[in-house]
């Protein structure tokens, strides 16, 4: 826990002076409160002794000063600490994103699941509070303790020591007690809450089935079962938490009572001027303000370190890339050559073994095979998202090993299998591919994929928000938008990863037309399990279980009558099945 | 305004608890006043009346007893508020669940499941502080100061007036500044959620951003977006914190004013020290409830914002049950009844174009009817209407003589087996996942259905067989296996009507072929309505309904439609390879 805590803190060390400043002002706020109450009570006690007014001037000024400074300090403290918190939030977000870049797509952690990312975002929001809620309160407390020690020491070291013991005791013993009581329940709450969330997400994703199968009641019952446990745990947690407040109040009153018990005899003997009896008592009361924030600090400490641990677990996943010594080099010639490429997952036995093939500049090559044959792995390797274990890939005359991923990705565009569009306008989404493209150029590419009339029919045209587009954009249409995005880069090699899955036949035909009409200089790697119009490809590579089982043109492969023929047959069989 | 009537109405049923909370809060204040009285009496005695420890020991003991009593009162107050919170959370979630069920799956799909889950779990949690802290504090902020005034006025009317004059300033300013800040805050909430959405978006799209060499730009943008959010937010907070400043300054300055004013009167001997000390001790307590209201103000705001999200779901118009006729309960299903669709139209809420435009067709009993058309032709909409997930905008569907509107949803669905496009598997075991289609099915029946769907062998080969758990959205199963589980559900349901939506859209051909064979066995003697964009699967349907842009273009069997030489033939030729 401590390790995680310091790791989080070190992430934000850039802002340590800001933090220090905020904590300092926080202390001055509490200090002003103490000052106000002590000078006030000094003032009235002195006045009660009919002290001449000129002797009271200092006290009156003090009272006025503290009265104003406290409010001002409080304002400044809140402003600065919020500023720091938001700075940290920005910092943590950048840190997390930067740390994820080399990891994604990961072999070990599935980051495509929205749940994991949503939780990470919550976790980041939870660690951003580490300063205001965890670090600052103890700092203010310690500073206040030192101040009070010094003040009480003026009267007697006994007062100072007694105060420090009781003050520190209540600041740490009470939170510790409740921490012991609530530790288990706290963990249980976290567990139950994520259970309830998972259950809800699962149910909502399957809401059609739930409603169709009339499962509403059993669903609700199950929800209530988990919820009841959660609420029960939260209820007990709340009761423990409220112990804090009540015990801290008690500790304050008892400390005052104790102090009275020790100080009153001193007043009687004359060792302590009676004036200070009220000053001390009231000062102690004011000092306890700094104890109030301590319990919360304990709670947030465990909460934010747990959040931090989850984030570090993700970030510490084995990285795929190590590109320190790679230099950008100009690539000449775009012939792609794979020599004995093998790849093993860490856990999965799905792998590529001994893959060798060649794609000459301007060639159109299809890579076909059933799902799980290794097609997507090949895409990840060709784009250097993953490193291969053995073998070599050459582009032109350069070995992949010496090329940076940036270098490679400047040459290769990908239409990914999963449609991924970003919040923002259509234009913004397209411009991810390439900067400084004019609207007319964008429309030209959109017309290549047959989206121009749709975009033109929208009131805001290219500036239409993707989110607002919602269901207006069908699966096929959003797929075509990602194709347009890839085409826009105008790179010499384009990979289409299952570009025709999830689309109807007309759309499929349109997409294939688009590919056919690409300039002859462009190499195309078309990855698919749908074997339509395969005769348009110069070469077809057939994958099965991570191996190339055969390759050749459509006609050649059909003539061979092997695996490829079987794939084609099964696809066409359907026509005769029903008769 | 922060006091929301609708929200307050949720307290109904727990009003007693709510009033006990306020009452206990008041009692705790009474002990605070008594403690202050005792303290001033003790100090006064020792300081001015030369009393010894022995003289005041009884008073100190009473003080300790009162301190204990106070902490017990505070704890019990929190105890009740914890139980109030439990009650409120449960009743909110219950309402939301009922609403989610009645909105129906289609409306839910347009909202994000993550968002709804968040509202249901975290959103409701955010109401906690509104009800346990903010709302009782609203009452206490009025009652406690009045209570203190009752004690203070007889002692010193001048202080009483200072209190009375300053007290309204605080809520007044809080309201003035608060309402400005609230407006700004609302805007800020939008920015905040947009910023979070952006962050989630780029995290999910890291792979794509890498492929386009855009990660560095995005890192900069995250920083930029977060920082511009920080600056905007701080501008809001600058104003929002002013209310806290006013509160703090008013409170501290009036303590200062009172101290000086009392001090001067003490000086001239026309005031008693004991009363002065009491007033000084109690003065911060007079302002404390306002301050606590201020600190819970944020919680109140958050609660209100969360409530708005909740209310957005609660007020969502129920689209499935908006126009239902009186329900038949003794509806007798006869398999030999045709489904007659007359002049059916449907427009999605917020859209202009009709998704279905004046459709009139008849689905013959015990025949296979295929819906054909490109994406967006209206096939899925029609199926959703038949599944009663949405209600038609106009037109009618008759089951023989009966208007579908007059048949109870559940009764109607009981006669349907449904194979959705993307079947959802729940995070339960395989047995329960299949059994969802027939609640009371025996294990033998489930196994029988699994055998027919050709998934039994796969299930038996797993370690826990039918009790094997399924991960998030069936993560441990392949696409083909998930479809087979759905098929097993349909077999188990064994209903006379079978609705199929785009079977096996992106499986590899061999797997797809096998699944289709197993599915066709289910078709015999059933009224089948099947959607597919793979035309080869429906060529041999008894009747083909060709749709385009919400309209029925052609109907007939394959041969008839080919002879017509119309749109159907054009669609078919798009599938070049086959013909």
Q: Which of A208, A235, A287 to mutate to test the interface with B (most CBs of B within 10 A)?
A: A208
- H/E element holding A524? strand A523-528
Of A78, A254, A573, the CB nearest to B244: A78
Instruction: Tell if the CB–CB gap between A67 and B253 is shorter than 8 Å.
Output: yes
Q: How far apart are CA A121 and CA A146, in angstroms?
A: 39
Q: How far apart are CA A67 and CA A73, in angstroms?
A: 11
Instruction: Tell if the CB–CB gap between B47 and A278 is shorter than 8 Å.
Output: yes
Token pair of A119 as six digits = 């939780």
Q: What is the DSSP letter of A131?
A: I
Q: What angle do CA B48, B52, B55 make, to 5 degrees?
A: 100
| Per-residue pLDDT at A578 | 27
**Contacts (Cβ under 8 Å, ≥6 apart) of B230:** A83, A86, A87, A89, A90
Can you tell me which residue has the tokens 């959370």?
B89
Q: Which of A213, A220, A272 to mutate to test the interface with B (most CBs of B within 10 A)?
A: A213
Query: Which value, in Å, is the radius of gyration of the alpha carbons in chain A?
Result: 35
| Per-residue pLDDT at A151 | 93
Collapsing DSSP states into helix, strand and coil, what is residue B35?
Answer: helix
Sign of the torsion formed by the C-alpha atoms of B204, B207, B209 and B214: positive
The bridge status of strand A493-497 relative to strand A523-528 is: parallel
Instruction: Tell if the CB–CB gap between B571 and A63 is shorter than 8 Å.
Output: no
Q: Is A510 exposed, middle or buried (0-12, 13-18, 19+ CB in 10 A)?
A: buried
Sign of the torsion formed by the C-alpha atoms of A192, A194, A200 and A203: negative
pLDDT in tens, A77-118: 888 988 888 888 888 888 888 888 877 776 655 665 556 777
Of A115, A246, A261, the CB nearest to B74: A246
Quickly list DSSP for B350-410.
T-SS-SEEEEEEEE-TTSEEEEE--TTSSHHHHHHHHTTSS--SEEEEEETTEEGGGB-HH
Of B39, B241, B260, the CB nearest to A78: B241
Instruction: Tell if the CB–CB gap between B71 and A66 is shorter than 8 Å.
Output: no
How far, rounded to the nearest angstrom, does the alpha carbon of residue B319 sit from its chain's CA centroid?
18
Can you tell me which residue has the tokens 């008759």?
B398
Q: Which chain B residues are Cβ-neighbours of A414 within 8 angstroms?
A: 211
Are residues A96 and A89 in contact, defined by beta-carbon separation less than 8 angstroms?
Answer: no
Of B81, B245, B520, the CB nearest to A74: B245
Q: Which chain A residues are Cβ-neighbours of B210 within 8 angstroms?
A: 101, 104, 385, 405, 409
Q: How far apart are CA A567 and CA A531, in angstroms?
A: 8
Q: How far apart are CA A221 and CA A202, in angstroms?
A: 15
Collapsing DSSP states into helix, strand and coil, what is residue B343?
Answer: strand
Sign of the torsion formed by the C-alpha atoms of A224, A227, A229 and A231: negative
Are residues B414 and B495 in contact, defined by beta-carbon separation less than 8 angstroms?
Answer: yes
**In the beta sheet, which residues pair with residue A528?**
A368
Domain boundaries, chain B: 5-314, 339-574
What is the four-CA torsion angle of A203, A206, A210, A211, rounded to 10 degrees?
120
How far, rounded to the nearest angstrom, does the alpha carbon of residue A523 sit from its chain's CA centroid?
37
Sign of the torsion formed by the C-alpha atoms of A346, A352, A358 and A359: negative
**In the beta sheet, which residues pair with residue A364?**
A524
Length of chain A: 579
| Per-residue pLDDT at B71 | 93
Q: How far apart are CA B229 and CA B395, in angstroms?
A: 50
Q: Which chain A residues are Cβ-neighbours of B208 within 8 angstroms?
A: 416, 420, 432
Q: How far apart are CA B536 and CA B534, in angstroms?
A: 6
B367: phi then psi, degrees, rounded to nearest 5: -120, 165
**Contacts (Cβ under 8 Å, ≥6 apart) of A226:** A192, A195, A196, A199
Of A97, A121, A410, the CB nearest to B196: A121
How far, rounded to the nearest angstrom, does the alpha carbon of residue B489 sit from its chain's CA centroid?
29
Q: Which chain A residues are Cβ-neighbours of B93 within 8 angstroms?
A: 223, 227
**In the beta sheet, which residues pair with residue B345?**
B394
Of B237, B389, B511, the CB nearest to A79: B237
Are residues A450 and A529 in contact, defined by beta-carbon separation less than 8 angstroms?
Answer: no
Listed as ranges, residues in chain A with pLDDT below 50 are 574-579
Closest CA relative to residue B100, chosen from B90, B91, B109, B88? B109
The bridge status of strand B551-556 relative to strand B416-419 is: unpaired
Long-range Cβ contact pairs of B172-180 (< 8 A, separation 24 or more) = B173/B242, B173/B243, B173/B246, B173/B247, B173/B250, B174/B243, B174/B246, B174/B247, B174/B290, B174/B293, B174/B294, B174/B297, B175/B1, B177/B239, B177/B240, B177/B242, B177/B243, B177/B246, B178/B2, B178/B240, B178/B243, B178/B297, B179/B1, B180/B239
| Per-residue pLDDT at B576 | 46
Instruction: Tell if the CB–CB gap between A50 and B269 is shorter than 8 Å.
Output: yes
Q: How far apart are CA B36 and CA A410, in angstroms?
A: 76
Query: Which value, in Å, is the radius of gyration of the alpha carbons in chain B?
Result: 35
Length of chain B: 579
Token pair of B190 as six digits = 């939008």
Listed as ranges, residues in chain B with pLDDT below 50 are 1, 320-323, 473, 505, 575-579
Of B89, B104, B510, the CB nearest to A211: B104
Half-sphere exposure of A194 (CA within 13 A, CB side): 12
| Per-residue pLDDT at A111 | 61
CATH annotation of B339-574: 3.40.50.300
Minimum Cα–Cα distance from A81: chain B residue: B234
| Per-residue pLDDT at B25 | 92
Of B53, B105, B212, the CB nearest to A433: B212
Q: Which chain B residues are Cβ-neighbours of A282 within 8 angstroms?
A: 280-281
Q: Which of A278, A372, A405, A543 to mutate to test the interface with B (most CBs of B within 10 A)?
A: A278
Q: How far apart are CA A570 and CA A435, in angstroms?
A: 45
Collapsing DSSP states into helix, strand and coil, what is residue A337?
Answer: strand
Sign of the torsion formed by the C-alpha atoms of A450, A452, A458 and A463: positive
Q: Which chain A residues are Cβ-neighbours of B241 within 8 angstroms?
A: 75, 78-79
Minimum Cα–Cα distance from A255: chain B residue: B64
Domain boundaries, chain A: 2-105+114-315, 336-574
A238 touches chain B (CB under 8 A): yes
Please state which of the four CATH numbers 3.30.360.10, 1.20.1560.10, 2.60.40.10, 3.30.1540.20 is assigned to the domain occupying A2-105+114-315: 1.20.1560.10
Long-range Cβ contact pairs of B4-9 (< 8 A, separation 24 or more) = B4/B304, B4/B307, B6/B307, B6/B311, B7/B127, B7/B130, B7/B303, B7/B304, B7/B307, B8/B135
| Per-residue pLDDT at B574 | 53
Are residues B506 and B482 in contact, defined by beta-carbon separation less than 8 angstroms?
Answer: no
pLDDT in tens, A354-390: 888 888 888 899 998 876 677 878 888 888 888 777 8
A212 touches chain B (CB under 8 A): yes
Closest CA relative to residue A89, chosen from A4, A11, A5, A7? A11
CATH annotation of B5-314: 1.20.1560.10
**In the beta sheet, which residues pair with residue B369?**
B529, B543
* Chain A (264-323) residues lying within 8 Å, Cβ to Cβ, of chain B: 264-265, 267-268, 274-275, 277-278, 281-282, 285
Q: Which chain B residues are Cβ-neighbours of A420 within 8 angstroms?
A: 204-205, 207-208
CATH annotation of A336-574: 3.40.50.300
Q: What's the first-to-final CA gap in chain A, in angstroms?
A: 68
Q: Supply the angle between the helices B273-314 and A275-287 in degrees, to the nearest 10.
A: 10
Distance from CA of B497 to the nearest CA of A (A): 13
| Per-residue pLDDT at B318 | 52
């Amino acid at each position: 826990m401590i390790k995680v805590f310091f790791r989080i803190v070190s992430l934000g060390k850039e802002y340590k002076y800001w933090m220090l400043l905020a904590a300092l002002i926080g202390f001055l706020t509490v200090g002003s409160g103490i000052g106000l109450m002590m000078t006030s009570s000094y003032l009235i006690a002195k006045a009660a002794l009919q002290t001449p007014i000129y002797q009271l001037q200092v006290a009156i000024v003090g009272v006025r000063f503290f009265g104003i400074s406290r409010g001002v300090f409080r304002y400044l403290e809140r402003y600065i600490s919020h500023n720091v918190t938001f700075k940290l939030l920005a910092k943590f977000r950048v840190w997390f994103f930067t740390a994820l870049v080399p990891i994604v797509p990961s072999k070990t952690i599935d980051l495509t699941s929205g749940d994991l990312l949503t939780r990470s975002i919550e976790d980041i929001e939870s660690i951003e509070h580490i300063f205001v809620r965890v670090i600052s309160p103890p700092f203010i407390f310690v500073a206040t303790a030192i101040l009070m020690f010094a003040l009480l020491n003026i009267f007697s070291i006994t007062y100072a020591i007694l105060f420090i013991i009781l003050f520190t005791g209540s600041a740490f013993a009470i939170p510790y007690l409740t921490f012991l009581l609530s530790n288990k329940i706290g963990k249980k709450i976290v567990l139950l809450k994520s259970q309830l969330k998972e259950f809800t997400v699962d149910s909502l994703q399957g809401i059609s089935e739930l409603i169709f199968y009339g499962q509403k009641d059993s669903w609700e019952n199950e929800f209530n079962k988990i919820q009841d446990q959660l609420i029960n745990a939260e209820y007990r947690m709340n009761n423990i938490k409220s112990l804090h407040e009540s015990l801290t109040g008690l500790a304050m009153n008892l400390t005052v009572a104790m102090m009275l018990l020790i100080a009153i005899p001193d007043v009687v003997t004359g060792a302590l001027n009676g004036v200070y009896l009220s000053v001390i008592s009231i000062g102690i009361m004011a000092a306890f303000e700094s104890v109030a924030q301590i319990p919360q600090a304990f709670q947030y400490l465990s909460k934010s370190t747990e959040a931090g641990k989850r984030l570090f677990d993700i970030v510490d996943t084995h990285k795929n890339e190590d590109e320190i010594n790679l230099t950008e080099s100009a690539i000449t010639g775009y012939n792609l050559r794979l020599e004995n490429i093998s790849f093993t997952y860490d856990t999965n036995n799905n792998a590529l073994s001994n893959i060798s093939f060649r794609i000459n500049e301007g060639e159109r090559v299809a890579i076909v095979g059933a799902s799980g044959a290794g097609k997507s792995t090949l895409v990840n390797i060709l784009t250097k998202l993953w490193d291969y274990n053995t073998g070599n890939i050459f582009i032109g005359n350069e070995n992949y090993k010496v090329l940076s991923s940036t270098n490679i990705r400047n040459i290769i565009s990908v239409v990914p299998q999963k449609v991924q569009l970003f919040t923002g306008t259509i234009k913004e989404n397209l411009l991810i591919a390439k900067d400084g493209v004019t609207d007319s150029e964008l429309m030209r590419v959109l017309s290549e994929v047959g989206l121009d009339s749709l975009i033109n029919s929208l009131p805001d045209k290219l500036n239409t928000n993707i989110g607002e587009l919602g269901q207006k954009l069908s699966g096929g249409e959003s797929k075509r938008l990602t194709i347009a995005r890839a085409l826009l880069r105008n790179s010499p090699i384009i990979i289409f990863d299952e570009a025709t899955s999830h689309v109807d036949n007309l759309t499929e035909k349109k997409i294939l037309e688009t590919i056919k009409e690409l300039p002859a200089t462009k190499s195309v790697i078309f990855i698919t399990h749908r074997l339509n119009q395969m005769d348009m490809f110069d070469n077809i590579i057939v994958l099965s279980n991570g191996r190339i089982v055969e390759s050749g043109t459509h006609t050649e492969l059909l003539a061979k009558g092997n695996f490829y023929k079987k794939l084609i047959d099964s696809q066409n069989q359907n026509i005769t099945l029903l008769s | 305004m922060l006091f929301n009537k609708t929200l307050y109405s949720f307290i109904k049923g727990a009003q007693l608890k709510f009033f006990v909370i306020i009452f206990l809060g008041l009692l705790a204040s009474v002990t605070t006043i008594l403690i202050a009285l005792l303290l001033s009496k003790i100090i006064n005695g020792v300081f001015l009346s030369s009393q010894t420890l022995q003289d005041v020991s009884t008073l100190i003991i009473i003080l300790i007893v009162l301190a204990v009593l106070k902490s017990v009162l505070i704890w019990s107050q929190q105890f009740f508020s914890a139980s109030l919170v439990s009650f409120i959370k449960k009743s909110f979630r219950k309402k939301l669940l009922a609403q989610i069920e009645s909105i129906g799956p289609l409306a839910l799909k347009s909202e994000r499941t993550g968002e709804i889950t968040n509202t249901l779990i975290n959103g409701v949690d955010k109401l906690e502080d509104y009800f346990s802290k903010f709302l009782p504090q609203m009452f206490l902020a009025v009652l406690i100061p009045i209570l203190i005034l009752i004690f203070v006025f007889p002692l010193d009317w001048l202080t009483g007036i200072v209190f009375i004059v300053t007290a309204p300033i605080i809520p007044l300013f809080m309201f003035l500044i608060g309402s400005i800040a609230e407006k700004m805050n609302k805007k800020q909430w939008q920015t905040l959620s947009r910023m979070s959405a952006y962050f989630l978006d780029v995290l999910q799209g890291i792979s794509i951003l890498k492929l386009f060499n855009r990660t560095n730009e995005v890192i900069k943008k995250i920083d930029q977006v977060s920082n511009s959010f920080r600056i905007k937010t701080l501008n809001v907070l600058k104003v929002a914190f002013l209310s806290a400043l006013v509160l703090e300054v008013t409170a501290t300055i009036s303590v200062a004013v009172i101290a000086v004013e009392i001090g001067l009167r003490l000086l001239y001997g026309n005031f008693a020290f004991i009363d002065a000390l009491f007033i000084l001790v109690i003065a911060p307590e007079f302002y404390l409830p306002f301050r606590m209201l201020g600190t819970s103000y944020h919680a109140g705001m958050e609660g209100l914002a969360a409530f708005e999200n909740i209310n957005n779901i609660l007020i969502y118009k129920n689209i499935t049950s908006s126009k239902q006729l009186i329900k038949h309960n003794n509806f007798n299903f006869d398999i030999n009844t045709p489904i007659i669709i007359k002049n059916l139209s449907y427009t999605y809420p917020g859209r202009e174009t009709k998704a279905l435009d004046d459709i009139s067709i008849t689905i013959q009993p015990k025949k296979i009817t295929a819906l054909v058309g490109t994406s967006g032709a209206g096939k899925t909409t029609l199926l959703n209407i038949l599944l009663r997930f949405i209600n038609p905008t106009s037109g009618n569907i008759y089951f023989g003589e009966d208007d579908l509107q007059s048949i109870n949803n559940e009764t109607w669905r009981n006669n349907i087996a449904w194979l959705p496009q993307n079947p959802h598997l729940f995070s339960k075991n395989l047995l329960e996942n299949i059994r969802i289609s027939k609640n009371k099915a025996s294990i033998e029946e489930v196994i029988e259905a699994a055998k027919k769907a050709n998934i039994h062998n796969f299930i038996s080969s797993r370690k826990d067989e039918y009790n094997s758990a399924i991960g998030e959205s069936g993560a441990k199963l392949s696409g083909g296996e998930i479809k087979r589980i759905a098929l097993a559900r349909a077999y188990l349901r064994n209903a006379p009507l079978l609705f199929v939506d785009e079977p096996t859209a992106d499986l590899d051909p061999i797997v797809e072929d096998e699944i289709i064979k197993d599915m066709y066995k289910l078709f015999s003697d059933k009224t089948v309505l099947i959607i597919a964009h793979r035309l080869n699967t429906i060529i041999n349907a008894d009747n083909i309904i060709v749709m385009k842009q919400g309209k029925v273009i052609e109907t007939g069997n394959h041969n008839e439609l080919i002879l017509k030489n119309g749109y159907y033939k054009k669609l078919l030729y798009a599938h070049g390879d086959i013909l």
